């Protein structure tokens, strides 16, 4: 879903450069990377390099990663719940569906890679449930590539909403509140293992933190 926020930024009213932020229930604000959604973010290459087969990008937004993977010849499908983001992704050449990750997803049980980038580990406010679903989507030897918060941040469940602003930020438009979650790299292991996706690797690149979760092989 967070990936979709970049698409929603593009849909804002005209007149001034839009800025999209996450507003937390405690009043704090987290800015989003929305200046140029087409440009790869620092750290993106480390994800792309690990996509070794058919890839499902969950919460793909306007298609930054799906387009980059397609240009490399990697079979990739993006799914997102934001209609505008899906339209933008398709116009950029991305194969993207308007779809909730918990609904019917093509290729279930056959994906080599599932991407959860740009904070999408927070979808639904329950990382355990989300990773359980990801395990269902993956092939027996599949892997999930997950972006997480830096070490030292415990699981935080909350409600957030999107806030669009222009100019110096006095003109705001806020959306509805929805459940979200954040999770630090050092607090992922237990949740991932319970979902059948033990942590195989963690790394940091471009100021961001990631983990590879390898699907557990049933004996």
Spatial CB neighbours of 204, under 8 Å, sequence gap ≥ 6: 150, 210
**Cα distance between residue 191 and residue 206, in whole Å:** 25
Specify whether the CB–CB gap between 117 and 147 falls below 8 A.
Answer: yes
For 180, residues 6+ apart whose C-beta sits below 8 A from its C-beta are 22, 122, 123, 125, 157, 158, 159, 160
**Residue 176 Cα to chain centre, angstroms:** 19
SS3 7: helix
- In three-state secondary structure terms, 59 is coil
Element (H, E) at 204: strand 199-205
Find out whether 212 and 143 touch, Cβ atoms under 8 Å. yes
Tell me, what's the pLDDT at 163?
78
Structural domains in the chain plus CATH codes: 2-214 (3.40.50.150)
Q: Each residue's pLDDT tens digit in the chain (219 positions)?
A: 454 444 444 444 334 455 667 888 888 887 765 546 678 999 999 999 999 999 999 999 889 999 999 999 999 999 998 888 898 899 999 999 999 999 999 999 999 999 999 989 999 999 999 999 999 999 999 999 999 999 998 888 989 887 776 655 456 677 889 898 999 999 999 999 999 999 999 999 999 999 999 987 664
């Amino acid at each position: 879903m967070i990936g979709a926020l970049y698409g929603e930024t593009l849909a804002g009213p005209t007149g001034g450069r839009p800025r999209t932020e996450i507003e937390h229930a405690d009043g704090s604000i987290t800015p989003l990377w929305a200046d140029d959604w087409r440009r790869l973010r620092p750290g993106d290459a480390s994800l792309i390099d690990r996509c070794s087969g058919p890839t499902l990008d969950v919460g793909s937004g306007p298609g930054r990663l799906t387009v980059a993977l397609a240009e490399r010849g990697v079979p990739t499908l993006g799914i997102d719940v934001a209609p505008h983001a899906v339209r933008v992704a398709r116009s950029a050449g991305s194969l993207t569906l308007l779809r909730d990750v918990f609904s019917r997803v093509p290729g279930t049980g056959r994906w080599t890679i599932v991407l959860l980038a740009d904070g999408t580990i927070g979808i639904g406010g329950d990382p355990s449930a989300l990773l359980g679903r990801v395990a269902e989507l993956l092939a027996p030897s599949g892997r999930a590539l997950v972006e997480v918060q830096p070490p030292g941040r415990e699981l935080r469940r909350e409600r957030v909403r999107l806030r669009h602003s222009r100019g110096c930020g006095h003109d705001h438009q806020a959306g509805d509140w929805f459940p979200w979650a954040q999770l630090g790299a050092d607090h992922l292991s237990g949740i991932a293992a319970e979902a059948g996706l033990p942590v195989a690797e963690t790394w940091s690149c471009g100021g961001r933190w990631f983990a590879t979760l390898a699907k557990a092989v049933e004996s």
